[in-house]
Amino acid sequence: MEVLFSDAHLLVVNKPVGVPSQPDPTGDPCVVDLLGQPGLTVPHRLDRPVSGAIVLTRTAEALRSMSDLFADQRVDKTYLAIVEGRLEGERTLEHHLVHDARAHKARTVAAPQKGSALARLKVKEVTLGERYTLVEVRPEGGRFHQIRAQLSAAGHPIKGDVKYGARRGEPDRSVALHAYTLRFPHPLSVLLLEVEAPVPATGLWSRLWPAGRGPA
């Protein structure tokens, strides 16, 4: 697993698709298991079928600080997604989301209701294809399955994301969503960290995000 940043307090890696961030009912090895380093804890999560940058902490103090940063929305996150259809230009999506625990998914509702939360998603076209568009996505709020649910509600489900309306799934059950950059103050120093997880170099990713291309 590619290491993006490491010091005495933090470890940031590029999580492959198919690897759970934390132990789950399948019993499959999670990120911590695969890294094989004692004392690592994950203060946030990436969905199993998603790739990209994920933060792990090495100490209890770092875990408390990073958990607070995520809870206070002080971690700036940029994702890349390949979505169905032609999604041109820039826009901000706003939806009221409800976490449907039984179905293990997020639902959009037309108006605020008990248990719902307003979610905003900034979306910017990067590469426009015939049937798919590569977009840069910046979520505000970090709600459960926020990006997947909001892009689907806008009529542009993520490639491979059959849970949220994609036409077909991928053989490896991945969805074309990648946690591209994380930017946050180091919890135990004065550093402002910015890490970038290289974009997958396979399939449609390689055509819509050519090798050597810079940030979106």
The encoded tokens of residue 101 equal: 């625990």
Q: Would you name the residues annotated as active-site residues? A: 47
Residue pair 81/134 in contact (Cβ under 8 Å)? The answer is yes
What's the number of CA atoms in the CB half-sphere (13 Å) around residue 190?
0
Q: For the chain, where are the E strands, in sequence order?
A: 2-6, 10-15, 51-57, 76-84, 90-100, 105-109, 117-128, 132-140, 177-185, 192-196
Q: Tell me the torsion sign for CA atoms 138, 142, 145, 151.
A: negative
pLDDT band at 96 (very low <50, low <70, confident <90, very high): very high
pTM listed for this prediction: 0.92
Residue identified by tokens 């695969």 is 34
Separation between Cα atoms, residue 78 and residue 71, nearest integer Å = 17
Domain ranges of the chain: 2-208
Q: Residues 134-178: pLDDT tens digits? A: 999 999 977 899 999 999 999 999 999 999 999 999 999 999 999
The region, left, alpha or beta by phi > 0 then psi within -120 to 50, assigned to residue 39 is left
Reduced to 3 states (helix: H, G, I; strand: E, B; else coil), residue 111 is: coil
101 Cβ contact partners less than 8 Å away, ≥ 6 residues apart: none
Torsion of CA 87, 93, 95, 101, to 10 degrees: 60
Among 20-29, 61-70, 99-108, the range with the most confident prediction by mean pLDDT is 61-70
DSSP summary character for residue 164: G
CA nearest to 179, candidates 124, 122, 136? 136
Residue pair 135/124 in contact (Cβ under 8 Å)? The answer is yes
DSSP summary character for residue 148: H
Torsion of CA 141, 2, 199, 180, to 10 degrees: 20
Which of the four CATH numbers 3.30.420.40, 3.30.2350.10, 3.40.50.1220, 3.30.530.20 does domain 2-208 have? 3.30.2350.10
Q: Residues 180-205: pLDDT tens digits? A: 999 999 988 888 999 999 999 888 99
58 Cβ contact partners less than 8 Å away, ≥ 6 residues apart: 8, 9, 10, 11, 39, 40
Q: What percent of the chain has pLDDT over 90?
A: 77
pLDDT band at 213 (very low <50, low <70, confident <90, very high): low
